[in-house]
Structure formats: structure tokens, C-alpha cells
A and B are shown apart, each in its own frame.
Chain A
């Protein structure tokens, strides 16, 4: 099992008025391929900032970011978009679905930038919908779905492009405990089935316990 992601001496700070807030100072982390890692920490400990750096949404002030053996040096937003398109799927707490699209269309959005034919796209979408257990809901719009179903759609969208890494920011944060278990079970299953590396941010100990490893961030 090789290393999919390595953060070396990552530092990141923000300016807030005349103050500089150090979020990460020489932070190091390694994630192996196929691993499922939970990141925990109090508010302001830099969980989301870390997720942003890994996803190519934000850039570290210093340090090295190595993804799948390649040093990642993103210079602009466009580089970040390209990087995400090829490597990363993102799941957010509030699902981030397009309300006017059906479930199938929502998932299909992640394939718009690929060069697959419409038929192949449809096949892939149907396949992931089945894996996520929402194939029967494919013609429904998000408004008619429950929280758990919405999150399944979000997971399906994040994984339909077969990314190497799934980043989930509090994926169960907006769900009740029963649904939380279902979603975590789904993520765990997909992690195993698809061999997709998963990094998820959570406040929930039960969620982190389901992961292979937990990284706890401390506030500076």
C-alpha cells in the first residue's frame, strides 16, 4: 500500500486586521492509499484549512504537498480546479446539491468535464447510484429527498469520477444518528470496494472510530 498524500512542514497563516493567525505551523501528515483517515479538532484548529490545502482550494504558505508521488504546486484557481477534477471528490456537510437537477443529473455534473461519451457517463452514473443505494431515486430532485439520501447523492457525485481521494467535511454533521451510521457504513463500504482513500473531517468520536486512523489537530 503506497502513500497517496504527504504533507511536509506545511505552514499556513491568515491576516486578521493587524493580527496574524497561525493555523498550521510545520504540519506533517501522511495518508496511505486506500486508507480512511479522520481529522478531528476544535473549531479554529485548521481542519477546513487543511481540507482546502489538500483539495487545492487554498495554498500553503510554505512546505511541500505531495499527492500520488507528485509535488503539487498550484499557482492559481484554475490549477486547483484541474487538480480536483482529476484526483479529488468532495463531500460537504450540507450536501451541496443543485436543487433543480434530478439525482442523476446532480451526479452527472461531476462527469461534465470528462471526455466520456454520454452513454458511458450514463453507465457510470447508474453504477455509482446503485452502489450508493439511490438508483431508484435517480429521477427525483433533492427537495424530495431525506438528509441521508441527499448525502448519498453527494457521495455518489464525489465518487462517480473515480477520484483517488475522497474528502468529506463533516459528512454526517447534518444527519441524525441512525442516518449517520448508514452514511458512514456506505463510505466505509465504498472505501473498501473502490479502494478510494478517504479523509474526513468530523467532530464525532463515533465517526472517527469507524476510520482506520484519526489525526487530531490542536489550536495554535
Chain B
């Protein structure tokens, strides 16, 4: 022990400049590690908060590229490959269980235009401000029932034919909310603004769905099939207005699903943005990249710190080679010399923690990053930086000194 202590004391007083540099280096390394770890934790925490299941977006706005929503009412364009491609793209997207197109999904039927032979009173809602009375109506796409888990209590669901826009003169099919089942029967019809609708089913009690984070109870609602592009009332293949897409599966990457379809037919841009949460697609990628980037930065910073520390240590050791040869001459083993250097470095390491701890407590009121983690990283840097010194010391031998090659 006496040898180790004596050598530490010698190192301390004999190499004040080098020791100062070493201490500064370790302090900076520790501070850098602290900052990087702190950022990493902050980023990780933010990442976890954002990408918790409750925050993942369910509704997205979709803006198709101009080519996919231009007017096809033109005889020439109507027969263009673009028309067919666009149609194929959206047919496929509609067929995807996880992607549901909504357009004016929530609407209203003005009670004035409703068939007045039926007593709608119990179902009419009123906007007092304008004395506007209406029936709640929802246009559901074919896969909306499955996606929102809306079940038919009585009667039938919409068929493929109900969603077809080929024969617009035929009556609409309608599914009514549970409360209507007390007034209507299956097969009953009603008219709205001259259009006739046939009741084909009733929903189960308390049926509902959630869109944009808004909860809709369907007990008093009329459900109509959402038909593309008939409901647009336009001859565009796709509307210029935003479409809304709901991911049936919370984990689904909507942009990736859309890309998978569009890329089959060519390069079309369909921009997807989250409405009610955080976009799972690119934002997640960026955040993951940021976490990785911080990791890489930490690795680079640690490497630079280790290299710089190793360089100072080796330089100091080279100056000390004659002393170590004298030690060997006096029967002091090399492992004790190395151990004394390692202990000295550990002392500096412990000292170097204090500024970081002080700053952290002053700024944040506590040590945000666990102390053991800072010590682990800074300690690893110190240990790694000691390796070249130990290798240098291995080359120390009395023979070199005897032959006058180092003194």
C-alpha cells in the first residue's frame, strides 16, 4: 500500500500540468456524458409519452396529388390511363381494412325536408340559436362497421350494391339507430328532399363511434352508405377537399399502407397528416433517429474524451518511464505502478463528478441522470483511456535503462 500511496503522491505533485489537464478532461467528459444522458432521457421520455397508445392518431387528413383529383368529366380524360389508375388506387385503398375514407361522415337531414307523414319528433335535434331542427345522419363506408365495431341489432347491413354509384335513381338503403326500432319496421321507407330511403336494419343499443376524438352515439342517428364519388356531387375522381382516413388498427402506419398501394401504380403523392393525435409515420421515425443520434453522439463524445485522456496519460507515462524503470530496479512490481495510476484516475473521476452534480442540482433541483450511470460511462472512458498507458508501461524494463536507451 505504501508503494501505491507514494507513487500517487509523486504523480500528483510531479505532473501538476498534466494532472490539471486530466482533471479538466474528466470533468468535461463527465459533463458531456451528463448532458447526453440527460438529453437521451428527455428524448426517451418524450418519445414514450408521445407514442403511448392513447396518443397515436386515429384520424388523418389526406391530400391527394393534383393528378389524382383533376376533373374527369372530360371525354378525353375520362378514358385516360390516369383515370383508371386513380380509380384502381382508391378502390384498393377502400378495400384495405385498416384504411377508411370518410367524407362528411357526420351530417344532418333538415327536418323540413323529411317525410312529414312520419313522427320524427322524438329524434329531431335542435340548434336553438337558429331554430334549426335536424336528424343526425352519418355516412359510413363499407368497412366502417368493422373498424368502429358497429353491430347490426336487427335486419341487414349494407351490401356491395348499396355502395355502388352506378344506378343513382334506385332508393338508398338506410340503417337506423336503436331508438328507431320502436317506431319503424324493416322495409319501411321514408323520403328526404325527394329521395327515397328503405330501412334495411337497426343498430344495437348504444352503438357509437369515435372520430377526431369526438364520440358519436348512434341511437338516434340515420346511417347511410358512404358512396364514392356520388356523395361528392362532383365528377372529380377524388375531391379537392381533405379526406379523412381512420386506421382501424391502432398500430397501422397509414402512410406506409397508402404508399404500398400507390407505388404499385406509379409515383403519386398522397400526403397524410394526423388530426387527433401524433402521426405514427414519419414523426416516429424521426424521433427514433433522434434517440439513435444522441446515442451516436454520446459514443463519439466518449471516444474523443477517451482519446484525449489517453493521449495525456501516455504522454505523462512516457515522461515517467525512467522513474518506473527505477521502481523496477528497486523491486517494485509493475502491477503496483499501474494500480496506483488507476487509483489516481479514479480519484480524479470522483472529483470530476462534483461540478456536474452541483450544476444539475442548481439548475434542476436534483440529479436528473442516476449517479451510477454517469460514473459508469465516465469510468468506462477512464478505464479505456488507461489501456494505452498500461501497454506503454509493459514496454518499460530495466534493460532499456541499463543500456541507456531511455534515460
Q: Which A residues fall within an 8 A CB radius of B?
A: 48, 51-52, 55, 57-58, 77-78, 81-82, 84-86, 90, 92-94, 96-98, 100-101, 109-110, 112-113, 157, 161, 169
> Would you call B231 an interface residue if the criterion is a C-beta within 8 Å of the partner chain's C-beta atoms?
no
Shortest beta-carbon distance from B335 to chain A in Å: 7
A113 to B334, CA, bound (A): 12
Contact residues in B for A109 (Cβ distance below 8 Å): 6, 326-327, 330, 332
Shortest beta-carbon distance from A54 to chain B in Å: 12
A85 engages B330 (CB within 8 Å): yes
Residue in contact with A96 in the complex, picked from B3, B335, B407, CB distance below 8 Å: B407
Contact residues in B for A110 (Cβ distance below 8 Å): 330-331
Contact residues in B for A52 (Cβ distance below 8 Å): 398-399, 402
Kindly name the residue among A57, A78, A93, A97 whose own CB sees the greatest number of chain B CB atoms within 10 A: A57
B397 engages A98 (CB within 8 Å): no
B330 engages A77 (CB within 8 Å): no
What would be 29 A-B contacts, judged by CB atoms less than 8 Å apart?
A: A48-B399, A48-B403, A52-B399, A57-B398, A58-B399, A77-B397, A78-B335, A81-B331, A81-B332, A81-B333, A81-B334, A82-B331, A84-B328, A84-B329, A85-B330, A85-B332, A90-B398, A94-B404, A96-B325, A96-B326, A96-B329, A98-B10, A98-B323, A100-B10, A109-B6, A109-B326, A110-B330, A112-B3, A113-B330
A92-B335 contact given A98-B326, A113-B3, CB 8 Å threshold: no
A97 engages B326 (CB within 8 Å): yes
> Would you call B276 an interface residue if the criterion is a C-beta within 8 Å of the partner chain's C-beta atoms?
no
Shortest beta-carbon distance from B407 to chain A in Å: 5
Question: CB-nearest residue of chain B relative to A94?
Answer: B407
A93 to B407, CA, bound (A): 11
A128 to B142, CA, bound (A): 105
Shortest beta-carbon distance from A174 to chain B in Å: 10
Shortest beta-carbon distance from B344 to chain A in Å: 16
Question: CB-nearest residue of chain B relative to A169?
Answer: B402
B331 engages A161 (CB within 8 Å): yes
Contact residues in B for A84 (Cβ distance below 8 Å): 328-331
A92-B402 contact given A81-B328, A84-B329, CB 8 Å threshold: yes
Shortest beta-carbon distance from B2 to chain A in Å: 6
Contact residues in B for A55 (Cβ distance below 8 Å): 398
Kindly name the residue among A48, A77, A169 whose own CB sees the greatest number of chain B CB atoms within 10 A: A77
A98 to B327, CA, bound (A): 10
Contact residues in B for A96 (Cβ distance below 8 Å): 322, 325-326, 329, 401, 407
Contact residues in A for B6 (Cβ distance below 8 Å): 109, 112
A101-B10 contact given A96-B329, A113-B3, A169-B402, CB 8 Å threshold: yes
Question: CB-nearest residue of chain A relative to B5?
Answer: A112
A85 engages B331 (CB within 8 Å): yes
Shortest beta-carbon distance from B60 to chain A in Å: 71
Known A81-B334, A109-B327, A113-B330; 16 more pairs at CB < 8 Å = A52-B398, A57-B402, A78-B333, A81-B332, A84-B330, A92-B401, A92-B402, A94-B407, A101-B10, A109-B330, A110-B331, A112-B2, A112-B330, A113-B331, A161-B330, A169-B402
Contact residues in A for B323 (Cβ distance below 8 Å): 98
Ranked nearest first, the 5 interchain pairs of A and B with the lowest CB-CB distance are A85-B331, A112-B3, A110-B330, A81-B333, A100-B14
B329 engages A90 (CB within 8 Å): yes
Q: Which of B225-276 contact A (CB under 8 A)?
A: none
